């Protein structure tokens, strides 16, 4: 369909509820939309689900205002017409909902929802293939301690964060875990420290003299020393969050440069996290 009049999609949601659910297709996505595509939708007040478009039409519901589709997760249909018809037949023959059929048919990694947990894959083999925006997103979720899909739309990436998340999962840079974990979850904070080679003040001063030709990196070291209290009478813990350094005016490229030079080292610590 490429008609720019308002169009609506009947979306299959992976729940044990009868039928499909009507969502409005944003005008900028009308030409893209087709049955069998995965879309991200809001169900109820807070829940997010990836559903499958069952069919598309122009009939606006009379008794309620349909919510818009938040995001298209694919560039082409994941499920073809014959598979959708087969899902309909299974639902009718076995007297179950089409949402239950979808839930059973799709692989684990293709089903995203509010409770989807994800974590950074530290063993990702080809980080050099990721774009700068991907690295920035990974640093953002690392610094913020974000672990659930429904934490993304409220941040600076908005709904675009879901698309980036899906892209990084497909690349293997992130892992997902569909299980909803209740109770305490430790939060990891990305920290910056001085390499052990510069644990002595004399060695540190010599290194800083060499950094005079790289003012951004020298500034980064100076700000780190100020925040950590290193070599001061009232030395702090020495743990300085990468986010804290950035907030103090240290450029990301300066931090990365110092890590490559083995002046800085990056590590994670566990900090307290609220019960959810």
Quote the pLDDT of residue 275: 33
Instruction: Provide the CB-side half-sphere exposure for 162 (13 A, CA).
Output: 27
pTM: 0.51
Q: What percent of the chain has pLDDT over 90?
A: 30
Average pLDDT score over residue span 43-66 = 88
List of residues 6+ apart from 59 with CB closer than 8 A: 8
H or E segment to which residue 117 belongs: strand 117-120
pLDDT band at 273 (very low <50, low <70, confident <90, very high): very low
Residue 39 has pLDDT above 80, yes or no: yes
Burial of residue 12 (CB within 10 Å: 0-12, 13-18, 19+) is: buried
Quote the pLDDT of residue 274: 39
List of residues 6+ apart from 98 with CB closer than 8 A: 12, 19, 20, 54, 87, 88, 91
Quote the pLDDT of residue 179: 39
Query: Average per-residue pLDDT in the chain?
Result: 82
Burial of residue 167 (CB within 10 Å: 0-12, 13-18, 19+) is: middle
| Residue found under tokens 């100020």 | 226
Instruction: Give the tens place of pLDDT for each residue, 67-126.
Output: 999 888 888 898 999 999 999 999 999 999 999 999 898 876 676 665 667 778 877 767
pLDDT band at 57 (very low <50, low <70, confident <90, very high): very high
H or E segment to which residue 246 belongs: helix 242-247
Count of H helices and E strands in the chain? Answer: 8, 10
Residue 54 has pLDDT above 80, yes or no: yes
Quote the pLDDT of residue 177: 62
Closest to 152 measured CA to CA, from 182, 127, 117, 186: 117
H or E segment to which residue 135 belongs: helix 132-144
Q: Which of 129-138, 159-168, 242-251 has the lowest mean pLDDT?
A: 159-168
Selected residue with higher pLDDT from 203 and 178:
203
């Amino acid at each position: 369909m490429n008609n720019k009049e308002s169009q609506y999609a009947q979306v299959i949601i992976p729940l044990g509820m009868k039928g499909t659910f009507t969502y409005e297709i944003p005008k900028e996505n009308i030409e893209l939309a087709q049955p069998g595509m995965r879309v991200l939708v809001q169900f109820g007040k807070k829940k997010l689900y990836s559903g499958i478009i069952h069919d598309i039409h122009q009939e606006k519901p009379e008794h309620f205002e349909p919510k818009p589709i938040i995001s298209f997760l694919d560039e082409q249909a994941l499920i073809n017409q014959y598979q959708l018809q087969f899902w309909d037949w299974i639902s009718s023959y076995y007297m179950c909902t089409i949402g239950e059929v979808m839930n059973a048919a799709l692989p684990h990694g293709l089903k995203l929802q509010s409770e989807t947990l994800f974590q950074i894959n530290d063993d990702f083999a080809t980080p050099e293939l990721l774009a700068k925006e991907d690295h920035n997103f990974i640093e953002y979720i690392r610094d913020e301690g974000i672990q659930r899909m429904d934490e993304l739309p409220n941040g600076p990436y908005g709904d675009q964060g879901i698309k980036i998340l899906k892209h990084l999962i497909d690349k293997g840079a992130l892992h997902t875990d569909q299980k909803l974990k209740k109770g305490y979850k430790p939060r990891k904070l990305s920290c910056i420290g001085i390499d052990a080679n510069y644990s002595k003040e004399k060695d540190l001063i010599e290194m800083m003299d060499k950094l005079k030709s790289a003012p951004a990196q020298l500034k980064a070291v100076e700000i780190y020393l100020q925040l950590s209290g290193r070599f001061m009478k009232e030395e702090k813990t020495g743990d300085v969050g990468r986010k804290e350094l950035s907030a103090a005016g240290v450029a990301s490229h300066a931090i990365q440069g110092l890590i490559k030079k083995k002046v800085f080292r990056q590590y994670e610590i566990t900090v307290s996290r609220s019960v959810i």
